[in-house]
Structure 1
Amino acid sequence: MKDQANYITALGRDQMNTLGNLSMLDIFLSANQYVEPHIHQNASELVYCISGSALVTFINPFSKQVINLEIFPGQTANIPQGFWHYEVATQDHTHLLAIFDAPYPQAIYGSDILRLTPSQAMANSYCLDQRMWDGAISSINQTVIIGPPADCSRQLKQPAQSRYIPFSNQRFYS
């Protein structure tokens, strides 16, 4: 829970034990709030928009194509297992339901990758100045999940919509 307007309620096998390998996240977001970039290594995800609207973005690992899907009430976005993705609310009072084909979806969050990978490994891998890298990630001291953090003081930009693809009749994997 980030605050009273931005939070996620998880429902797994313990709460829905008659539904087998199904779990859900009930997501509430204000405009420009993100479910941080992450990956589910054990589950595919279906994001259903109940109210408001959201931009669901993922990277197809096969084609390296960035896919942006804007969803509105009654629409869905399907994110295949193992695809790096995030959601951002484009309106206040956005309500999303994320449904998974696993009883407990696992996630690797971007904030954990950034803060837990040794800075020397990141700097050396990408030919970066390690001190600059350390400074850039110094404020990431825990898993974020809903971002930006409450103490973020910079002006937020509207979500990028570099490429919009309608949600119907599209295949995003091979």
Structure 2
Amino acid sequence: MKYWKQGFYDEYQEGSVEITEEYYNQLLAGQSNGLLIVESKDGYPILVEYEYDIEEVRKMKMSEIQIFDKSTNVNSFDLLGKSMWLDKSTRVGLFNSISIEKEAGKTDTVLWYDAIKYIIPISDALSMLNEIEMYALNCYNVTQSHIAAVRSLQTIEEIENYDYTVGYPVKLSFPG
């Protein structure tokens, strides 16, 4: 036998209730599966699902939005059928380097991605980087608008049902 009084005991405590070993194991199994052990009105331990408050639900939804924003669902484009992404610092660095190549009179540049060499006309590469930068900016604005929308929602149900995957620009695709 086990005893419960705001926690489990092997021996009787003043004011505790007796529970079977089998029920004790059921409670622990439920807790392992994400349920909470709480006390009933009669002082017995029972299992309940944790209920998130609206701010916890809001934080979870905003975290989902930020994870989606960093995923390949948003951060990718196609070059010659290969999906890739260039982060902000890489885009800026490439733009600067390619601009220097252009000033030096070169007509083509080399882009390495995932150990694959792409030779691209400089004018195409600069145009591509400009389009990627605008795409990234538009995606950022959509993500921020979703976060603002979730902050303004008034019920848990509205927050849970909010679809943050909509409104993003069409992914870019470059033929090469």
TM-score, normalised via structure 2 length: 0.20
Q: Which has the larger radius of gyration?
A: 2
Query: Bigger relative contact order, structure 1 or 2, given CA contacts below 8 A and separation 6+?
Result: 1
* Structure with greater proportional strand content: 1
